[in-house]
Structure 1
């Protein structure tokens, strides 16, 4: 049942043709938002498919009485990202929320990872977050300087892999860790313009995770499918609403019915000699620091 939490707000969701992005687009529309559904329409590895998933999601939204338009712009192309932001302004006259979600995977162990596989994943995930954010931020800054300070929201998509590491996904981990870092910087820089920036690290069954969660693809237990992508969207919708104005620079993990706040790098134990250390002195120092520090969270897939 809709509460109208985002009534009248204009939302862009990238990578919204399938999976989590599609769930976001439908959830925002159900709460009264007008949605730009962006998806370039490619296979999991980034190759062309000839499909039009963005238009299909728009048709779903319209069939339910909502308003949406499709965009097939490449979000990792700087000019394409600018066109995407322009699409929201052209069709709906404003932009309130940007959800950066688009991504691809090329999983391999580092010793087998090819240069083009590294470049493709970094490009779509990391540049594909930066470019739309950059153009949206420029629009919101101009609005603020014109005396029309927005109540704008950016929700980025990191990953548990980006927060903790994941064996066999060095390119993906680097990109998702970069997104978490970009989130906290953007939150600080854009606060003056009425913009909050947060990130989620979702765990759900999508094209990118269907092999990982193969053992959880069976019938839902007690009627609840914990790996359904729709479980992730309620928090994203709330973060996109005006209610979330006091929350920025945070990363939330979402899985099934659980929402948690991720704790990032923090200053830990320290020893100060008051002068330059000699290399031979540092063995005992490091040992003492490690003794005083908590054990790090394990890397996903570690033995």
Structure 2
């Protein structure tokens, strides 16, 4: 019960990772706002409240409390309504888990502008706007003299950290989420808010085709490393009071593995103390690369 009575909003919580997060938060005593539009894997189709309401029923069956949120969190009004739903239902908001997303995979030379924009909208804008409105709520709470011990957990991806062939739009959006996480962790710290990101690997609607081609299903009784539920304990801990000292970090989570990512760090350096001549740069760069670790490969390359 490490999140007992904490109020948590999870976007994209009707299926997959979001559903697993919402259920684990509820098991750990949280009051949950279940946000989901109920659209298809690629974001198409009419919005349906069904998936969010089903997760609410599952939480209530566990003895927990939850409310559905049918709002489009990639709009100003929808993001504001998500926060308002938490406050109206439970009196406040303590944790925001940004998880909503879908795929429009295609090689770059075949990727349309609409496919680019749709993925940027749901992933990057769909992180920014809930974060913005939750941040405003917590700033107002702090200014009113009420204590704030809040958490944001964003969802990046290995594709955003290392790249992924055929996913230029998704990789760019997920990399942008890392940058947004770093900025938000610095800006919101003054209000009592931590902001971290995860890069999960799990079998969901978004990944089931890939895993079906590359991994055999687990044998009966074998640990299912790709189950979405494996990622949720880290997310729930990051949403708890125990994680107060952790902010601005990115964690990979897969099966029983948790890895903190080092991300970009200053590496080897040469300072000439004057402007370089272009003819000199090649020697300097080759020396720097010889002293730097090799980059990790892009997913799906070679």
Q: Which TM-score bucket, shorter chain as reference?
A: over 0.9
Give unmatched runs, 5+ long, in structure 1: none
Note the alpha carbon deviations across 1:213-269, whole angstroms, 9 max, x for none.
Answer: 114352346431110000000010011010110111110000001111011101111
Shift in alpha-carbon separation, 1:180–1:6, aligned structure 2, 3 A: same
Q: Does 1:254 align with 2:253?
A: yes
Kept after mapping to 2: 8 A contact 1:220/1:226: no
| Residue 44 (structure 1) aligns with | 41
1:30 to 19, 27, 31: 27
The residue correspondences of 1:162-181 to structure 2 (distance < 5 A) are 162-181=160-179
| Residue 291 (structure 2) aligns with | 292
Take 1:64 and 1:116, find their aligned partners in 2: how far apart are those partners? Answer: 41
Take 2:289 and 2:242, find their aligned partners in 1: how far apart are those partners? Answer: 41
Which secondary structure state, in structure 2, belongs to the residue aligned with residue 65 of structure 1? coil
| Residue 125 (structure 2) aligns with | 127
Give me the TM-score of the superposition, normalised by structure 2: 0.97
Which secondary structure state, in structure 2, belongs to the residue aligned with residue 6 of structure 1? coil
* CA-CA distance at 1:49 after TM superposition: 4.5
Kept after mapping to 1: 8 A contact 2:203/2:211: yes
| Residue 199 (structure 1) aligns with | 197
TM superposition outliers: structure 1 runs of 4+ over 4 Å: none
Take 2:124 and 2:220, find their aligned partners in 1: how far apart are those partners? Answer: 36
Note the alpha carbon deviations across 1:170-207, whole angstroms, 9 max, x for none.
Answer: 00000000001111111111111110000100000001
The residue correspondences of 1:50-89 to structure 2 (distance < 5 A) are 51=48, 52-89=50-87
Shift in alpha-carbon separation, 1:50–1:198, aligned structure 2, 3 A: closer
Take 1:248 and 1:54, find their aligned partners in 2: how far apart are those partners? Answer: 29
Aligned residues: 300
Take 2:230 and 2:220, find their aligned partners in 1: how far apart are those partners? Answer: 15
* CA-CA distance at 1:272 after TM superposition: 1.3
Take 1:47 and 1:81, find their aligned partners in 2: how far apart are those partners? Answer: 20
Give unmatched runs, 5+ long, in structure 2: none
Take 1:191 and 1:118, find their aligned partners in 2: how far apart are those partners? Answer: 32
RMSD value, Cα:
1.1
| Residue 270 (structure 1) aligns with | 269
Which secondary structure state, in structure 1, belongs to the residue aligned with residue 299 of structure 2? coil
Take 2:5 and 2:219, find their aligned partners in 1: how far apart are those partners? Answer: 34
Kept after mapping to 2: 8 A contact 1:149/1:193: no
* CA-CA distance at 1:149 after TM superposition: 2.8
Q: Does 1:7 align with 2:13?
A: no
